[in-house]
Amino acid sequence: MRAINEGARAALFWDAFDNLHEHDRAMTYYGLIRNDDHQYSPKKRYYAAKQLYRFVLPGARRIEASPNSAAIAASAFRDGQSGKLIVVGVKDSGPRQVQVTVPAPVFQSWDLYVTSRDHDCVKVDSFRAPSGILKLDLPEEAVFTLVSKAGEEK
């Protein structure tokens, strides 16, 4: 999130899965997918990355988002195709209840998706926030995505 907020326009993930690098005969464990004797399964970092890649589609434009805590890095995007507003954030610590303020236009209905120790990019809540101040109850460490519902623009 920090890199996106500082102007990065793309991201590259080099190792999609854990694998042996032939050039130095070393096994790497930095991938998004675990490789256990050719049995592949997603790691927690896959679900964390999915919070961004699943909801922020090509052509979306980054706009300002303001979390109320230094423990949260967040970016907001306006999807030109669907008109939805998407807020993706990382919460490192701090209180369970946080808030994110989104700029106009204000969307009233939201879905909240979370990746945490207990969740793997799943919808955990749907709520209304007519004021543009989104109040969230999040685990201590979480990656989250807020998605406005289509047709709900004020």
DSSP of the chain: -HHHHTT------S-SB-EEETTTTEEE--SSEEEETTEEEE-HHHHHHHHHHTTS-TT-EEE--EESSTTEEEEEEE-TTT--EEEEEEE-SS-SEEEEE-PSSPB-EEEEEEESSS-SSEEEEEEE-TTSEEEEE--SSEEEEEEEPTT-B-
pLDDT at 150: 60
d(CA 146, CA 136): 10
Q: Is the bond preceding 67 in cis, omega lying within 30 degrees of 0? A: no
d(CA 90, CA 139): 11
pLDDT at 143: 96
Which pair of tokens denotes residue 143? 């990656």
Q: Where are the domains of the chain?
A: 7-43, 49-148
Lowest mean pLDDT of 22-36, 113-127, 136-150, name the range.
Answer: 22-36
pLDDT at 154: 45
Decide if pLDDT at 8 tops 90.
no
The CATH code belonging to domain 49-148 is 2.60.40.1180
Query: Who wins on pLDDT, 61 or 7?
Result: 61
pLDDT at 126: 93
d(CA 103, CA 133): 9
Average pLDDT over residues 5-27: 72
pLDDT in tens, 38-58: 888 898 989 999 999 999 998
